[in-house]
């Protein structure tokens, strides 16, 4: 992708900032729309245009017609979504309607960041949490807009993204970020029971490569962007070489998820990084 006008919702977040950086490096004009719920100004990239606001207000905030809209700016935590159900509805339900109408009116291609949770536990994962339900039904709505209004779209699915800027503290911290901080402080690794839940951890750079490729060439559903290597949460904790502290089971914590990457691989994508090497790199810095 080169020479395009691109809007990234959630562009100040962990994944969004990585996407903005690479899009800008490829000579695109890049805009970010973020409400800074988990995004930060520290993630800003020189040369990217930043707008603060909710995706539900996209029509009022964006006065141009992007070639592509990457919609990453939604609530994205499974376990916390039970306590934050009002935020899930506000960010995900109100936001998707506004973004879809905006893309329809501007004739922009929409690349939607769905959630691989809907593939979890043989398909049962789609209703295991407010977050999973909102993302699964949002994906269906994107497809309906494609059928109803001729909207150009592609739906991607991420698998446990990790990398240098992931959130490592607070309620919205991600697993590898938490483990990294605990290792620095020589504290036990917290593992939610049963510990055998399997994840396909995927590096941010591989996610970004896949997103841009799907933005260029993808059309339709099921563009999974995930590593083909899977590890249990306990196995990952053991890679850090610290004592493990087991925590009680939590609702919404799926045991597995099918990795659906065939369509993305056919476009020419493949994962180039792996979790064990990344963790070894972190350990060497301690």
CB hemisphere CA count around 105 (13 angstroms): 12
- On whether the CB atoms of residues 219 and 272 are closer than 8 A, the answer is no
- CA distance between the termini of the chain: 38
Return the bridge partners of 158, or none.
115, 225
Give the pLDDT of residue 129: 93
Return the bridge partners of 189, or none.
244
Query: Burial, 268: exposed, middle or buried (Cβ in 10 Å; 0-12, 13-18, 19+)?
Result: exposed
Instruction: Write out pLDDT tens, residues 82-141.
Output: 999 999 999 999 999 999 999 999 999 999 999 988 887 777 778 989 999 999 999 999
CA dihedral 256, 259, 260, 261 (to 10 degrees): 170
What token pair was written down for 85?
Answer: 């159900």
Comparing CA positions, the residue from 127, 21, 134 lying closest to residue 75 is 134
Give the pLDDT of residue 161: 94
Domain count, the chain: 1
Give the pLDDT of residue 121: 73
- On whether the CB atoms of residues 196 and 231 are closer than 8 A, the answer is no
Give the pLDDT of residue 266: 97
Query: Burial, 131: exposed, middle or buried (Cβ in 10 Å; 0-12, 13-18, 19+)?
Result: buried
Q: Is 235 left (phi over 0), alpha (psi -120 to 50) or beta?
A: alpha
Q: Which stretches in the chain have pLDDT values below 70?
A: 254
Comparing CA positions, the residue from 220, 252, 228, 259 lying closest to residue 126 is 252
Rounded Cα gap, residues 209 and 267, in angstroms:
11
Give whole-number Cα distances, 153 to 73, 211, 222, in Å: 16, 12, 11
Q: How many residues comprise the chain?
A: 286
- List the domain range (segments joined by +) for residue 270: 5-284
Give the pLDDT of residue 172: 86
Give the pLDDT of residue 42: 96
Rounded Cα gap, residues 189 and 186, in angstroms:
9
Residue 220, Cβ neighbours under 10 Å: how many?
Answer: 13
Instruction: Write out pLDDT tens, residues 28-44.
Output: 999 999 999 999 999 99
- Please indicate, yes or no, whether the overall pTM of this predicted structure exceeds 0.85: yes
What token pair was written down for 123?
Answer: 């398909």
Give the pLDDT of residue 259: 87
User: Which CATH number characterizes residue 143's domain?
Assistant: 3.40.50.720
Rounded Cα gap, residues 286 and 66, in angstroms:
43
Give the pLDDT of residue 205: 97
Alpha helices by DSSP H, 30-109: 58-61, 85-88, 95-106
Radius of gyration of the chain (CA): 18
């Amino acid at each position: 992708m080169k020479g395009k006008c691109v809007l990234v919702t959630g562009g100040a977040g962990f994944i969004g900032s990585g996407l903005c950086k690479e899009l800008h490096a490829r000579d695109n004009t890049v805009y970010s729309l973020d409400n800074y719920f988990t995004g930060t100004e520290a993630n800003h990239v020189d040369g990217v245009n930043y707008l603060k606001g909710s995706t539900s207000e996209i029509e009022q905030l964006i006065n141009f017609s992007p070639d592509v809209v990457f919609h990453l700016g939604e609530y994205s935590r499974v376990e916390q979504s039970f306590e934050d159900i009002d935020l899930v509805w506000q960010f995900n339900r109100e936001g998707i309607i506004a973004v879809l109408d905006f893309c329809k009116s501007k004739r922009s291609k929409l690349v939607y960041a769905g959630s691989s949770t809907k593939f979890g536990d043989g398909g049962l994962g789609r209703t295991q949490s407010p977050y999973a339900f909102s993302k699964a039904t949002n994906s269906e709505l994107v497809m309906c807009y494609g059928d109803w209004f001729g909207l150009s779209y592609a739906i991607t699915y991420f698998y446990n993204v990790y990398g240098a800027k992931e959130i490592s503290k607070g309620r919205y911290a991600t697993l590898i970020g938490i483990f990294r901080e605990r290792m620095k402080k020589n504290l036990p690794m917290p593992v939610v029971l049963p510990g055998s839940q399997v994840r396909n951890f995927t590096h941010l750079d591989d996610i970004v490569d896949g997103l841009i490729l799907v933005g260029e060439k993808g059309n339709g559903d099921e563009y999974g962007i995930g590593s083909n290597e899977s590890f249990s949460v306990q196995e990952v904790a053991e890679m850090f070489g610290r004592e493990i502290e087991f925590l009680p089971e939590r609702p919404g914590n799926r045991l597995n998820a099918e990795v659906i990457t065939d369509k993305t691989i056919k476009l020419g994508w493949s994962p180039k990084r792996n979790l064990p090497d990344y963790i070894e790199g972190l350990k060497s810095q301690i």
